[in-house]
Amino acid sequence: DEGLSRAVRTVFVRLHREGLIYRDRRLVNWDPQFGSALSDLEVEMREVKGSLWHLRYPIEGSDRFITVATSRPETMLGDTAVAVHPEDERYRDLVGKFVILPITRRRIPIIADEHSDPEKGSGAVKITPAHDFNDFAVGQRHNLPMPSILDKQARVTLAELDLATANPFLKTLEGQDRFAARKAIIAHLEEQGLLDHVEATTHQVPHADRSGVVIEPLLTVQWFCKAEELAKPAIAAVEEGRIQFVPRQWENTYFAWMRNIEPWCISRQLWWGHRIPAWYGPDSAVFVAEDAEAAQAQAQAHYGRAAALTQDEDVLDTWFSSALWPFSTLGWPDETPELARYYPGDVLVTGFDIIFFWVARMIMMGLYVMGEVPFRTVLINGLVRDERGQKMSKTKGNVIDPLSLIEAYGADALRFTVAAQSGAGRNIKLGVGLVESNRSFVTKLWNAARFCEMNGAVPALSFDVEGARLPLSRWILDAASRTVAEATTALEAFRLNDYAQACYRFVWGDFCDWFLELAKPGLTGEDAAELRAVAAHVLGIILRLLHPVIPFVTEALWDQLGYGPEGSLIRAVWPEPETVEGADAARAELSWVIRLISEIRAIRNEMNVPAANQIPVFLHDASAATLDRAERWQDAVKRLARVSGIAPLHGPIPKDAAQAVLDEATLVLPLAELIDLAAERARLAATRAKAAAEAEKLARKLENLDFIARAPEEIVAENRERLDVTQAEIARLDAALARIA
**From the CB of residue 205, how many other CB atoms can be counted at a distance below 10 Å?**
16
CB 506 within 8 A of CB 480: yes
Query: How far is it, in rounded angstroms, from Cα 293 to Cα 308?
Result: 12
Amino acid at site 559:
D
Do strands 65-70 and 315-316 pair parallel, antiparallel, or not at all (unpaired)?
unpaired
Q: What DSSP designation does 506 have?
A: I
Is residue 397 over pLDDT 80? Answer: no
DSSP class per residue in 298-314: HHHHHHSS----EE---
Residue 411, C-beta contacts closer than 8 angstroms, at least 6 positions apart:
552
Residue 561, C-beta contacts closer than 8 angstroms, at least 6 positions apart:
449, 452, 453, 458, 459, 536, 539
Q: What is the mean pLDDT of residues 309-332?
A: 95
Residue 676, pLDDT score: 63
The band of 701, judged by pLDDT with boundaries at 50, 70 and 90, is confident
Residue 715, C-beta contacts closer than 8 angstroms, at least 6 positions apart:
388
φ and ψ at residue 725, rounded to 5 degrees? -65, -45
Write out pLDDT tens, residues 147-187: 999 999 999 999 999 888 889 999 999 999 999 999 999 99
**From the CB of residue 718, how many other CB atoms can be counted at a distance below 10 Å?**
17
The answer to whether the peptide bond before residue 247 is cis (omega within 30 degrees of 0) is yes
Write out pLDDT tens, residues 183-226: 999 999 999 999 999 999 888 999 998 889 999 999 999 999 99
Give the closest residue to 225 by CA, choosing from 372, 329, 323, 328.
323
Is residue 675 over pLDDT 90? Answer: no
Query: Would you tell me the crossing angle of helices 360-370 and 2-17 to the nearest 10 degrees?
Result: 80
Strand extents, DSSP E, 599-720: 615-620, 643-649, 657-662, 665-670
Query: How far is it, in rounded angstroms, from Cα 476 to Cα 239?
Result: 45
Distance of CA 693 to the CA centre of its chain: 38
Query: How far is it, in rounded angstroms, from Cα 554 to Cα 416?
Result: 12
CB 366 within 8 A of CB 374: yes
Strand extents, DSSP E, 396-550: 428-430
Most confident by average pLDDT, 152-161, 671-680, 699-708: 152-161
Q: What is the CA radius of gyration of the chain?
A: 37
pTM summary value: 0.75
Write out pLDDT tens, residues 632-670: 999 999 999 999 999 998 888 777 778 777 888 888 888
